[in-house]
Structure 1
Amino acid sequence: MVRKGAFLVGLFFAGWLLWSFLVGAYSYVVEPPAKTVEHEFHLAPKHVSFSFDRPLGRYDNQQLQRGFQVFKEVCSACHSLKFVAFRDLAGIGYNEAEIKAIAKNWAIKTPSVDPATGEASTRDGIPADYFPSPFANNVAAAAANNNAIPPDLSLMTKARHHGSAYVYSLLTGFQEQPAELLKHFPDAKTPEGLHFNPYFANLNLAMAPPLSADGQVTYGDGTKPTIDQMSQDVAAFLTWTAEPKLENRRRAGVATILFLLIATGLAYMAYQNIWADKKKAA
């Protein structure tokens, strides 16, 4: 009796799922969903090649240092790197003296208040400090950025699909709205204060083009600082901030695969040796 009851319950739910599927499929065919401007004009990230893309690829420290320079001189005016400490920059080739000099140029807020001005006191940064936010709080950040709070960039490339290519595409994707978009979606005109970018999810974002001209940053290694080059460099740097142990993880993966291959070979030879006499006897 219990089995029959269980069978009938299962049959009921299976029939209900089938009915729901058929009704949904019929509705989709008869009344297909309306096309949206995001569906029509949102673009997948551009194809861009980085040294760390390959299965055994490695970071290019020279590129990461250029990317850090772009972040420091351009992006840090609005964005933070709250999960990255100054001493972590040793991972991209900076020595101890250079890290101390970099940290010293950042003002770190302290809990104390200046009695003369009533403002929070600051001190020079040290290697153990984390990169500070450029704003005191979210209210201040929103007030300075058209009511949009700039996101922290520490893990941005892991938070977005094709993260490195996404950052590169976003930085190089600012443009005027296509005439075709306004023709088919006249109500989708980019609001005042926002900027059209087909690589952003809803096509409009509050951030103005941060890299607006070639030569905006002067590279010490002689690399020509075009918008495309600066975008690639800072995208690579933000990939490193999100995955600083990428190379170690890949090396560990290679070592594990080699170990498993050797262990598999030894196990097979042991099997052959142990069971050889048994097979002959059989």
Structure 2
Amino acid sequence: MVRLFGPLVGLFFAVALLWSFGVGVVQNMRDPEPATAVKEFHLAPREPEPGFSFNGPFGRFDKAQLQRGFQVYKEVCSNCHSLHFVAFRDLAALGYSEAEVKAIAKDWATKAKTFDPKTGETGERDNTPADHFPMVYYAGTGSPPDLSLITKARHEGPEYVYSLLTGYQDQPAELLKKFPDAKTPDGLFYNPYFANLNIAMPAPLADDQVTYGDGTKATKEQMSADVAAFLAWTAEPKMEKRKQTGWAVLAFLLAATVLAYLAKRNVWAKVH
């Protein structure tokens, strides 16, 4: 009896699953997913003009741009966002001297935390080049997102950062007309490059907010591109070395392939 009903039970469940799948497919064909404000008005990240120097297989970081980007981070972004996976001594790769790195670490607004295990007391001290950038913490709200790896955590990371920083605007009248319930809530700001169009962070940059030492005009677009490039470096400081290694490996593989082919021709030359 069990042998008779076993296959029938299995057949019943298989038919039920096929029926459910078929009903779902037909329903989706008849009733397409309704349009949403996010789907219609969300924009893909874009590159600044003339583009990032580090993109492409031969791309390299522009150290002058990285220093400008660090300045933007230091004077604007560091008030809210940490770079906890980056050490002060890493800034030497941007062209800063040992004395400059020491001065940057010592003068950093957020100090390093200390703890005395004997007394249980905590304190502060000046940062040293060996220290990582200290965490930014706000009582009651915790730590805002760390930016060390932000360009790796977001699709088209540098382009995303640049687009987000330059993308703040008023909600389009067309959006409000088509989706009246999609009005940006109080306390949030409309940005078509953010995932749900509304972001809690107000626009952080404005023209001439910093003064570049190299004389570059500090427009919002320029500062956004510079800090995006800097954050691309913090996420992958060895990028240039990786590309150089990659080309060397490709050259080796090409040479090895040619040698293997010639060896094969030589070994099998007399075989007919």
Same fold (TM over 0.5): yes
- For the Cα contact (< 8 Å) 2:47–2:162, is it kept in 1? no
Compute the TM-score of the two structures, normalised by the length of structure 2: 0.88
Displacement over 2 Å in runs of 4+: 10-25
Equivalent residue number for residue 109 of structure 1: 113
The 5 A counterparts of 1:103-142 are 103-106=105-108, 107-112=111-116, 120-135=122-137, 139-141=140-142
Equivalence for 1:80: 82
Aligned-pair CA distance for 1:54: 1.5
Does 1:233 pair with 2:226?
A: yes
Decide which moves more: 44-53 or 59-68.
44-53
SS at match of 1:121: strand
1:90 aligned partner: 92
Aligned-pair distance for 1:278?
A: 2.4
CA gap of 1:51–1:13, structure 2 versus 1, over 3 A, is: farther
1:39 matches 2:39: yes
Distance 2:226 2:14 in 1: 54
Greater Cα shift, 28-37 or 95-104: 28-37
Deviates further, 125-134 or 232-241: 125-134
1:122 partner SS: strand
The Cα shift of 1:238 comes to 0.4
More displaced stretch, 269-278 vs 256-265: 269-278
The C-alpha deviation readout for 1:187-216, integer Å capped at 9, x for no partner, is: 11111111110100011111010002x110
Deviation sequence 1:51-99 (CA, Å, 0-9, x none): 0112110000110010000000000000001100001112222121111
Match of 1:211 among 177, 196, 205: 205
* 1:154-165 equivalent positions in 2, closer than 5 A: 154-165=148-159
Single out whichever of 22-31 and 87-96 deviates more from structure 2.
22-31
Q: Which amino acid aligns with 1:30?
A: R
Instruction: Quote the Cα distance in structure 2 between the aligned partners of 1:241 and 1:14.
Output: 53
Could you tell me which residue of structure 2 aligns to residue 276 of structure 1?
269
TM-score, reference length from structure 1:
0.85
Corresponding residue SS for 2:115: strand
- In 1, Cα distance between the equivalents of 2:211 and 2:53? 22
- The alpha-carbon deviation at position 102 of structure 1 amounts to 0.6
Q: 1:220 corresponds to which residue?
A: 213
User: Structure 1 residues 12, 272: CA separation in 2 closer, same or farther (over 3 Å shift)?
Assistant: farther
Question: SS at 2:61's partner residue?
Answer: coil
Distance 1:14 1:258, change over 3 A: farther
Query: 2:62 corresponds to which letter in structure 1?
Result: D
> Aligned partners of 2:114, 2:144: CA distance in 1, in Å?
23
Secondary structure, counterpart of 1:110 in structure 2: strand
| Length, aligned pairs only | 260
CA contact (8 A) 2:114 2:124 kept: yes
Distance 1:230 1:14, change over 3 A: farther
Q: 1:145 maps to what in 2?
A: none
Bigger shift: 12-21 or 83-92? Answer: 12-21
Q: What CA distance in whole angstroms lies between the structure 1 residues aligned with 2:177 and 2:89?
A: 52
Deviation, structure 1 residue 39: 1.0
In the alignment, which residue of structure 2 is the partner of 1:57? 59
2: distance between equivalents of 1:88 and 1:158?
Answer: 18
Structure 2 residue identity aligned to 1:111: F
Provide the rounded CA distance (Å) in 2 between the counterparts of 1:226 and 1:13. Answer: 64
